[in-house]
A and B are shown apart, each in its own frame.
Chain A
Amino acid sequence: MTEEVKRIATPKGEVLVVAEQILGELQPVTLELLGAGRYLADKLGSQLTCVVMGYNLADMPQRLVASGADVVYVADHPELYTYRTLTYRRVLVDLLESLAVPPHICLLGSTTTGRDLAPRIAAHFETGLTADCTELDVGPYEHKSKVDPSKVGLYEECLYAIRPSFGESLKARILGPWKNPQMATTRPGQMTPLKPDPGRQGKIVPIPVNLKPEDYRLVVAETLREAGKGLKLQEADVIVSGGYGLGSADGFQLMYELAACFSNSAVGASRKVVDLGWVPYEHQVGQTGKTVRPKVYIACGISGAIQHRVGMSKSGLIIAINKDPEAPIFKFAHQGIVGDLYQIVPEMIRQLGKVKSEKEVGTVVSTH
């Protein structure tokens, strides 16, 4: 005798993206989330909505429509000029409570803002939140565990929040279909934005801002951003990344020398060497560092753990230099050199130097 599986369908709410702006500058992660959100909303057959909070937002709501949102909720208010945990939390909680049906899915960037705000919203609504997802999808899930009989059943359209699992080489699919919104964050660079279409039509809906006295317990005196300062890892065409195989912090000198051979290049690193203090965190590539898609990624002495791979596997050309022919990085690199990086890299610098002088001769000749 087979038991009938209990089908559980929750009312299908919208897919909501929480937009992020810093000092009026829309953050790219928002457009990426709209790209991912559009896919999820289309698959669910629901709407893609987006909420933006700030002050003097000008054409920002329109840009969110152009990048995929069907509806943009706008909270434009002087008190929202800079991000503050309690004020933004208030507006977002009020918005979610005002909706007749809670969003099916709610997405935020895994940034200093998203990681500050998302957990508060999830805790307030007692709902699940998965950090740093590398893939998002929707699909069915049958819960069989009888630990909590009320949860048993077939859930038709759950958010699949996929991220590398603890330990290595496995991806975990994390679900929380019991309560909506099902929440997730993704790192900047991880999802693909849509091509903006200025002709796209969408609805722009102003939402109320009702702050309470306790929301002023925390104030921001100043937000300082140093434009142009800092490492432009995500904008580089060529990234030379060093790992534990460098043997010591001094090894990074060689990485800088190799990077200097290329135009628009930067130096990256694995987490192991960042944890060891060989280079600052801003260089870290991977699940808990930056996601990069340069045209060329040169990994020197990096084993290729899953957490590193998810941060760079979409690079155009991946070159790996590792003395261990069995290193996992050779499973997804395009070009692999098996050897001691201390012999290979100086040789690369030498040969690329020759290419450079040939190019220089070339330019001189062409000016005649």
Chain B
Amino acid sequence: MADPFDIFVLVKQVPDQGSKAGLNPDGTIDRAKAKRMLNPFDRYALQAALHTKKTYGGRVTAISMGPPPAVEVLMEALEHGVDRGVLLSDRRLAASDTLATAYALCKTVQWVGRFDIIFCGLQTTDGDTAQVGPQLAERLGLPQITYCQDFKIDDHRVHAERIIEGGYQKLDSELPVLVTVANSYHPLEYKSFRGAWRVQQLLRNEVEQKKYIQTVDLDVIGADPDRCGLKGSPTIVAATEKVGEIGGNCTMHEGHTASVLVEELLGCSNLKEFVKA
């Protein structure tokens, strides 16, 4: 029998945009005050990792990078059935762009050790770049399957379906491989109440928690601080500007019955021209 799979899944904590907490008057987000959540896209990656374990056997390690509260998303992953978590947390990582993030994650993955497959979410809801997965694959020298919506593994190869514009590709890769999971993949299953409760009890004890979730910094994983954070990031946000109020001359219709408002609209625009004959 082949060795059991070593499955890694990368997860990130993001601000919860659904809640009003931490929303500044100008619309920007105050990350310190905002409510936090597991990046919704990562739920599909988590499902893919747990499915792989269930179907083919093995062990799942969840890896995250972020400030100390990010440990919450690792706990959540454990409640869902992940075996252990590793959090890279270091002040020197602040303001890392995607390239610096991919460097730090690459060092973390290498420090954690051997793996057969790495699952990532397609993108995050705060950065929205979809760049970190492929950049990590490049740094690790791996093949990658992005936009993966289905897969199976046999004979140490992954057979996957990858979404493209107006269709999909069927592809096939050697292990190890990095996979970013599309949100057309199966949604994350509900955690079993008893299992989740047991994990919660266990993690409440700090000594126990440390056995399951390791927190490491740049020195532990042997990363070069100059390649992280602001210093290691080739891009910076140089300026933000308010969006100009283009147009600004909207003809407003209000304060009448619906039928009058619609008559006004049809009178003021060429909408009628587009009506199907």
Which A residues have a C-beta under 8 Å from some C-beta of B? 22, 27, 82-86, 111-113, 115-120, 122-124, 126-132, 141, 143, 145, 147-148, 160-161, 164-176, 178-179, 214, 217-227, 229-230, 237-238, 260-263, 265, 275, 281, 287-288, 295-296, 306, 309, 313, 317-320, 325, 330-339, 343-344, 346-348, 351-352, 355-356, 359-360, 362-363
Contact = CB atoms under 8 A, between A and B. Distances in A.
B175 to A, nearest CB: 9
Contacts of B165: 22, 27, 111-112, 225
Contacts of B170: 220-224
Given A169-B27, A337-B265, A126 B234 contact: yes
A194 to B, nearest CB: 22
Nearest to B23: A167
B164 A344 contact: no
A275 B39 CA distance: 12
Contacts of B133: 119
A332 B234 contact: no
Q: Please indicate which of the listed interface residues A131, A161, A288, A317 has the most CB atoms of chain B within 10 Å of its own CB.
A: A131
Q: Is the interface of A mostly helix, strand, loop or mixed?
A: mixed
B269 A319 contact: yes
A169 B242 contact: yes
A124 B242 CA distance: 34
B254 interface: yes
A351 to B, nearest CB: 5
A346 B259 CA distance: 10
Q: Please indicate which of the listed interface residues B102, B133, B146 has the most CB atoms of chain A within 10 Å of its own CB.
A: B146
A339 B258 contact: yes
B19 interface: no
Contact of A333 (B28, B127, B250, B276): B250
Contacts of A164: 243
B138 A123 contact: yes
Contacts of A22: 164-165
B137 A115 contact: no
Contact of A351 (B97, B174, B259): B259
A112 B237 CA distance: 25
B40 A275 contact: yes
Contact of B277 (A86, A112, A343, A360): A360
Q: Is the interface of B mostly helix, strand, loop or mixed?
A: mixed
A165 to B, nearest CB: 6
Given A120-B144, A261-B275, 4 more contacts: A166-B28, A172-B239, A220-B171, A224-B170
B245 interface: yes
A43 to B, nearest CB: 18
Contact of A132 (B129, B139, B258, B275): B129
Given A296-B274, A331-B247, A132 B128 contact: yes
Enumerate the 5 nearest inter-chain pairs by beta-carbon distance, A residue then B residue, closest first: A168-B27, A128-B234, A225-B167, A338-B254, A128-B235
Interface residues of B, number: 87
B169 interface: yes
A110 B235 CA distance: 18
A161 to B, nearest CB: 8
A130 B144 CA distance: 20
A352 B272 CA distance: 7
Nearest to B102: A123
Contact of B24 (A167, A223, A337): A167
Interface in B55-106: 97-99, 102
B181 to A, nearest CB: 14
Contacts of B168: 223-224
A166 B145 CA distance: 27
A167 B27 contact: yes
Given A129-B99, A337-B254, A296 B146 contact: no
A119 B164 contact: no
Given A119-B98, A275-B40, A288-B128, A319 B171 contact: no
Nearest to A325: B254
B271 interface: yes
Given A169-B27, A339-B258, A344-B258, A319 B271 contact: yes
A307 B27 CA distance: 12
A295 B258 contact: no
